[in-house]
Amino acid sequence: MKKHPLGVNFLNYRIRMRHLREDNDLTQKEVGLVIQKSQQGYSHIEDGRAELKIDDLIKLCDFYNVSADYFIGRTVNPDTQNNISPQMKIARILAGDWPE
């Protein structure tokens, strides 16, 4: 992990992506729905074969209720914004009731 001159530990965002997904017991296919990617497309981002677009970063931060700073590893504080679980959001996405 890289150390910032001001003392912030920079965690590779791909590691945080995987941890957030696994901590919420979600598959790559399920999280791919959030950013409108196939399982393979999502996998390519998570394993470093593709880059995460800013629009997708925002969607994932909203989905997991974390700040962008947390997602990219600039802080260890997730700074959650609401209390809808990722599992409930998957159900809403599948029902066509989740904002794009």
Smallest Cα–Cα separation from 98: which of 62, 67, 70? 62
How many domains does the chain divide into?
A: 1
Per-residue pLDDT of the chain (100 residues; tens, 9 = 90+): 555 454 445 568 999 999 999 999 999 999 999 999 999 999 999 999 999 999 999 999 999 999 898 898 887 777 655 566 788 888 888 888 766 5
Domain hosting 10: range is 2-94
pLDDT of residue 6: 44
Smallest Cα–Cα separation from 69: which of 8, 2, 7? 8
pLDDT of residue 19: 95
Task: Give helix 13-23 / helix 39-46 axis angle, nearest 10°.
Answer: 130
Residue 99 lies in a domain: no
CATH number of the domain where residue 22 is located:
1.10.260.40
CB hemisphere CA count around 96 (13 angstroms): 0
pLDDT of residue 99: 65
